[in-house]
């Protein structure tokens, strides 16, 4: 029986993607090397192999960094709950509501370790002290009686971070602004955040990077729930085959494009995906 070399190469390419998602870089390299040996002109396998070899070199030569907590809970639910406490004097109807089932994924602002730990960590994630301090604790959550103050603070932080090239910080501020809008019953907050949607979209795009790159999984699907993601993230990651670009992936995401951008930026910030250059 004749060998189906093309099929074998595709299976090896897929096996390499599975290894990469588990953080097994060397095993991924071996699988993609075999795929290239079988199909020397397979551009897909060649691109994945070159990317993985570069990752291995970077991992082997980078300095050891200190790890940080895997996830950070969003401050928004606790903040809104504090406004409904007897001491706050606020009316519950004006402050918070339970998120709808399809909003559950947004309850937690996920972020994996900023330091480069593990075989599939994003190399150079901590670029400078500002990036290293990129946590919600540094963002402008007001403890006063006006939710809109916090909303304006998040939007202003998003704009400032974009201007200064702190893309992760910009995306994080954008995410918190949206969470505040979704989980509060304030028309003023909705108005502030809705008017800033073009800015928030730019922040998510900046965090994602080149939309022509092909995202691949850098985290097992089973781990997503631990980082606050739901079935929508699992579906999006299941379509990451190293061939679809970010733009293509957004087209098949099965959700509004803005929501898909937001989710992709969250996955990027959580280091759940890596980007294979064109």
Task: Tell me the mean pLDDT in the region 176-190.
Answer: 89
If one counts every other C-beta atom within 10 angstroms of the C-beta of residue 117, the result is 17
Write the CATH number of the domain with boundaries 5-61.
Answer: 1.25.40
pLDDT at 255 over 70: yes
The residue ranking higher by pLDDT, 277 or 120, is 277
Query: What proportion of the chain, given as a percentage, has pLDDT over 90?
Result: 46
142 contacts 153 by C-beta, under 8 angstroms? yes
pLDDT at 214 over 60: yes
Residue extents of the structural domains in the chain: 5-61, 76-276
Task: Label residue 5 by pLDDT band (50, 70, 90).
Answer: confident
Tell me what pLDDT residue 141 has.
56
Kindly report the pTM of this predicted structure.
Answer: 0.71
pLDDT 10s digits, 48-78: 999 999 988 888 786 655 444 344 456 666 6
DSSP H or E segment with residue 216: strand 214-217
Task: Label residue 100 by pLDDT band (50, 70, 90).
Answer: very low
Task: Tell me the mean pLDDT in the region 155-161.
Answer: 95
111 contacts 72 by C-beta, under 8 angstroms? yes
* Residues with Cβ within 8 Å of residue 157, at least 6 apart in sequence: 139, 140, 169, 170, 173
Tell me what pLDDT residue 46 has.
92
Task: Tell me the mean pLDDT in the region 84-104.
Answer: 44
Tell me what pLDDT residue 124 has.
37
Task: Tell me the mean pLDDT in the region 131-141.
Answer: 48
Tell me what pLDDT residue 53 has.
92
Query: Residue 135 and residue 139: Cα distance in Å, rounded?
Result: 7
Mean confidence (pLDDT) of the chain: 77
Tell me what pLDDT residue 135 has.
46
Tell me what pLDDT residue 222 has.
83
Instruction: Report in angstroms the alpha-carbon separations of 175 from 5, 80, 255, 269.
Output: 46, 16, 17, 11
Task: Label residue 148 by pLDDT band (50, 70, 90).
Answer: confident
- Across 23-32, 97-106, 126-135, which has the greatest mean pLDDT? 23-32
Tell me what pLDDT residue 98 has.
46
Task: Label residue 114 by pLDDT band (50, 70, 90).
Answer: very low
Tell me what pLDDT residue 89 has.
47
């Amino acid at each position: 029986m004749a060998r189906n070399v093309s099929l074998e190469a595709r299976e090896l390419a897929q096996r390499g993607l599975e290894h990469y998602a588990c953080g097994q870089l060397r095993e991924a390299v071996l699988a993609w090397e075999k795929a290239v040996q079988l199909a020397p002109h397979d551009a897909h396998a060649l691109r994945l192999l070159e990317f993985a070899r570069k990752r291995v070199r970077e991992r082997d030569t980078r300095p050891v960094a200190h790890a940080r907590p895997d996830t950070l809970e969003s401050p928004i639910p606790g903040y809104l709950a504090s406004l409904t406490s007897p001491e706050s004097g606020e009316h519950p109807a004006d402050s918070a509501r339970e998120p709808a089932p399809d909003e559950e994924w947004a309850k937690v602002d996920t972020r994996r370790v900023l330091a480069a730990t593990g075989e599939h960590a994003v190399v150079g994630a901590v670029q400078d002290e500002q990036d290293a301090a990129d946590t919600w604790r540094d963002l402008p959550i007001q403890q006063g009686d006006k939710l809109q103050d916090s909303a304006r603070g998040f939007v202003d932080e998003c704009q400032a971070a974009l201007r200064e090239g702190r893309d992760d910080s910009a995306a994080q501020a954008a995410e918190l602004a949206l969470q505040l809008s979704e989980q509060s019953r304030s028309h003023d907050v909705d108005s502030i955040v809705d008017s800033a949607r073009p800015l928030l979209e730019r922040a998510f795009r900046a965090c994602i990077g080149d939309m022509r790159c092909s995202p691949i999984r850098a985290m097992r699907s089973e781990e997503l729930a631990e980082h606050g993601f739901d079935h929508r993230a699992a579906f999006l990651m299941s379509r990451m085959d190293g061939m679809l670009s970010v733009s293509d992936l957004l087209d098949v995401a099965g959700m509004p494009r803005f929501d898909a951008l937001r989710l992709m930026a969250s996955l990027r910030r959580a280091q759940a995906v890596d980007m294979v250059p064109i």
